[in-house]
Structure formats: C-alpha cells, structure tokens
Amino acid sequence: MDQTHSRDFIVALEQGLHARPADLFAREAQRWQSRIEVVGNAQRVDGKSILDLLTLAAEAGTRLVVEATGPDAREAIDAIGSLFEQNFATDLAADAAPEQLESEK
C-alpha cells in the first residue's frame, strides 16, 4: 500500500535552487523507489529530474512542498529533509575525485 508523505521546506540557499543543489536533490530522490514531486511557485514537478527542478526557479525564501508516494516515502522525505537541513552543503566530499582516478590523469 503506497503512502504519501510530504514536508514543507524553505529554500535557504542564497542563490536559490540552482544547478548544483538541484543536482544533489535529484540524485537523492533517484535513490528512492517512491515517486517524488515538488510543488512550488504554482508548479508541480518531478523531483528526480534536474531540469524539472530548475524550472521552479526557486529563489531564496521560496516555500517548497516535497511529496513522496510509495513504499519508502517516509525514508525518502527524511533523506531529502537532511539535504535541506544541511543546506545542500553535504556533498562537497562526495564530489571530490577518488585518489585512484587522480593518479591516472
């Protein structure tokens, strides 16, 4: 039985939800089975698509509602919630290239 969980977030990024946070959001959303949609600025978009997220043009202070529907909806919302709580600053380490690849260059 699919459940829907949703949570409100305020975009706290100074530059709004631009390419990099949209990428982080979409990647996180893609990890989950549930359908994930984001509502903001009178639009509803697919949270797993960076292009969709960018069309929100969510500037700092925008309220977004994230809805997850599916077997892991609660976990998905929690995971996305962590992204917002850390203001998308989490993955700088993840973006760094592993040492093995560096030595191949």
Partner 1 sequence: MKFSDFVAVEAIRPNVAATTKEGVIREMTQSLVDAGRIAASELESIVKAIMKREDLGSTGIGRGVAVPHTKHPSVNRLIGTVAVSQQGVDFESLDGEPVQLFFLLVSPPDRPGDHLRALENISRQLRDDTFCKTLKEAAGPQDVWRLLEEADAQSIAS
Burial class (CB in 10 A: 0-12, 13-18, 19+), 104: exposed
Q: Are 36 and 46 in contact (CB under 8 A)?
A: yes
Is residue 18 part of the annotated active site? The answer reads yes
**10-39 burial by CB neighbour count: b if 16+ within 10 A, else e?**
ebebeebbbeebbbbbbebbeebebbbbbb
Least gap, CB of 92 to partner 1 (angstroms):
8
Size of the site for partner 1 (CB under 8 A): 22
Which residues within the stretch 61-100 sit at the binding site for partner 1 (CB under 8 A)?
Answer: 92, 95
Binding-site string for partner 1 from residue 4 to residue 43, where x marks contact by CB under 8 A and - marks none? ----------xxxxxxx--x---x----------------
Give catalytic residue positions: 18
Residues lying near partner 1 in the complex (CB under 8 A) are found at 14-20, 23, 27, 49-52, 54-60, 92, 95
